[in-house]
Amino acid sequence: MPVLLWYRRDLRVGDLPALSAAIADDPEVLCCFVLDPRLETSSGQRRLQFLGDCLRHLRDDLDGRLLITRGLPQQRIPQLAAEISATAVHVSDDFAPFGRRRDQRVRAALSQIPLVATGSPYLISPGRVVKDDGSPYRVFTPFFRRWREHGWRRPALSRSESAHWIDPTALSGKGAQPVEIPDFGGPADVPAGEAAAREHWKAFVASGLDRYDQDRDLLGRNGASRMSAYLKFGNIHPRTMAADLDHSPGEAAYLRQLAFRDFYAAVLHHWPRSAWENWNTEFDAIQTDTDAEAQRRFERWKAGTTGFPLVDAGMRELLATGFMHNRARMIVASFLVKDLHLPWQWGARWFLDQLVDGDLANNQHGWQWCAGTGTDASPYFRVFNPTLQGRKFDSDGSYVRRWVPELADVTDAHLVRCGRPPGYPEPIVDHGHERAEALRRYQRIST
């Protein structure tokens, strides 16, 4: 009896628990991906393009045995399951609010056909790392300790060679309705697919991992792994990466970042409203600016024309590539919330529209960390000075010069020891004044 393997955020063949479970159930497998129009309209063009590229590679890896269809999953999946008389539908578990609601609808529509969830996109699935009393962690450090104690399984060997793939071209029922994988907006800045992910990780382990703890915040160096898009779309499982991490400082620092990814997924799982609302509701009363002048400043922030070199470099990198260095993400986010006094949700929405690696849990809670409204215990007095951050993490100005060509020929790209060249805008605000204003607004709600 055949089974249906429904791909979502797990676009690979190797070390895929849901595939192993499907093959163990029965080796006759139909693989499918459903293009959900709701996600197509809510996702940025670069992320959709990367998704399309991943699907093309996955189809090749499956020797063409991947059905791509479009529609609401609660309609398409039951139709497909009925057409092949599937005994089960296998998936990787999804813990995001949208995914949970979608899966509830599909499970109800499948009726007597079980929806079997095996594995997840995380080293440890949300909900498993909890306190002794079963309550979720609110602070990262104790979560991290318990997370390491919990541990995770090692990568599993692929069993795909033992599967009998059902040819989707043989289907003709309502559920099939195959569609071509669309091109959404030009190539992404990073090559897609499982093979590219493994090759990229192998190269980083060989050349960058040992210095990751020292180089990851240096904007002018290639110290980041650039694995985030691959993790977002499941081209590689994090346990495949964790198997290469031991106890060197660089490896320990990288493992900590994987733990943060699991932590933010757990926070969203336990507090789904934190996707767009303040996790810490005490900050609901914080004063933010939303008038016409605030909108004008927001547009300058998006365009990278604030007159603050490092902020502008980060925003222009985002516009040009669909990616931004993590240190730059923190700096531009702090600037939007603490210097411009705009709602963090404005920036979070723009990031999700532009980023190839845009992930709801990571993005929203990273923004709340910068805004001081999230799980962080030291919220309001952390206000990044973009000039000092630039001198510390881009000391030679190479990052700024790369992305802000108006400053390519100045002696000091951070404009501390030289004048502002013609054509580069004056600062949109006075940082010292706006820092004091941000502290005043935060202190007002804490008294």
Neighbours of 157 (CB within 10 A): 9
Q: Is 344 exposed, middle or buried (0-12, 13-18, 19+ CB in 10 A)?
A: buried
Q: What is the pLDDT of residue 74?
A: 97
Strands 164-165 and 28-35: parallel
Q: What is the pLDDT of residues 152-209, one digit of tens each?
A: 999 987 777 778 899 998 887 666 778 888 887 766 678 999 999 999 999 999 999 9
Q: What is the pLDDT of residue 152?
A: 95
Neighbours of 79 (CB within 10 A): 17
The letter for the amino acid at 161 is E
CA-based nearest residue to 232, from 6, 9, 8, 7? 9
DSSP collapsed to 3 states, 54-116: HHHHHHHHCCCCCEEEECCHHHHHHHHHHHCCCCCEEECCCCCHHHHHHHHHHHHHHCCCCEE
The letter for the amino acid at 99 is G
Q: What is the pLDDT of residue 362?
A: 97
Question: What are the residues facing 5 on neighbouring strands?
Answer: 31, 90
Q: What is the pLDDT of residue 1?
A: 81
Please give the torsion angle defined by the CA atoms of residues 141, 145, 146 and 150, in that order, rounded to the nearest 10 degrees: 140
Q: What is the pLDDT of residue 179?
A: 87
User: pLDDT tens track of the chain, all 447 residues?
Assistant: 899 999 999 999 999 999 999 998 767 999 999 999 998 888 888 999 999 999 999 999 999 999 999 999 999 999 999 999 999 999 999 999 999 999 999 999 999 999 999 999 999 999 999 999 999 999 999 999 999 999 999 998 777 777 889 999 888 766 677 888 888 776 667 899 999 999 999 999 999 999 999 999 999 888 899 999 999 999 999 999 999 998 799 999 999 999 999 999 999 999 999 999 999 998 999 999 999 999 999 999 999 999 999 999 999 999 999 999 999 999 999 999 999 999 999 999 999 999 999 999 999 999 999 999 999 766 567 899 999 999 999 999 999 999 999 999 999 999 998 989 999 999 999 999 999 999 999 888 876
Q: What is the pLDDT of residue 221?
A: 86
Please give the torsion angle defined by the CA atoms of residues 119, 125, 130 and 135, in that order, rounded to the nearest 10 degrees: -100
278: left (phi over 0), alpha (psi -120 to 50) or beta: beta
Q: What is the pLDDT of residues 408-447, one digit of tens each?
A: 999 999 999 898 999 999 999 999 999 999 999 988 887 6
Q: What is the pLDDT of residue 379?
A: 59
Question: What are the residues facing 31 on neighbouring strands?
Answer: 5
Q: What is the pLDDT of residue 92?
A: 97
DSSP collapsed to 3 states, the chain: CCEEEEECCCCCCCCCHHHHHHHHHCCEEEEEEEECHHHHHHCCHHHHHHHHHHHHHHHHHCCCCCEEEECCHHHHHHHHHHHCCCCCEEECCCCCHHHHHHHHHHHHHHCCCCEEECCCCCCCCCCCCECCCCCECCCHHHHHHHHHHHCCCCCCCCCHHHCEECCHHHCCCCCCCECCCCCCCCCCCCCCCHHHHHHHHHHHHHHCHHHHHHHCCCCCCCCCCCCHHHHHCCCCCHHHHHCCCCCCHHHHHHHHHHHHHHHHHHHHHHCHHHHCCCCCHHHHHCCCCCCHHHHHHHHHHHHCCCCCHHHHHHHHHHHHHCCCCHHHHHHHHHHHHHHCCCCHHHHHHHHHHHCCCCCHHHHHHHHHHHHCCCCCCCCCCCCCCHHHHHHHHCCCCHHHHHHCHHHCCCCCCCCCCCCCCCCCCCCCCCHHHHHHHHHHHHHHHHC
**Helical packing angle, 386-393 and 309-321, nearest 10°:** 70
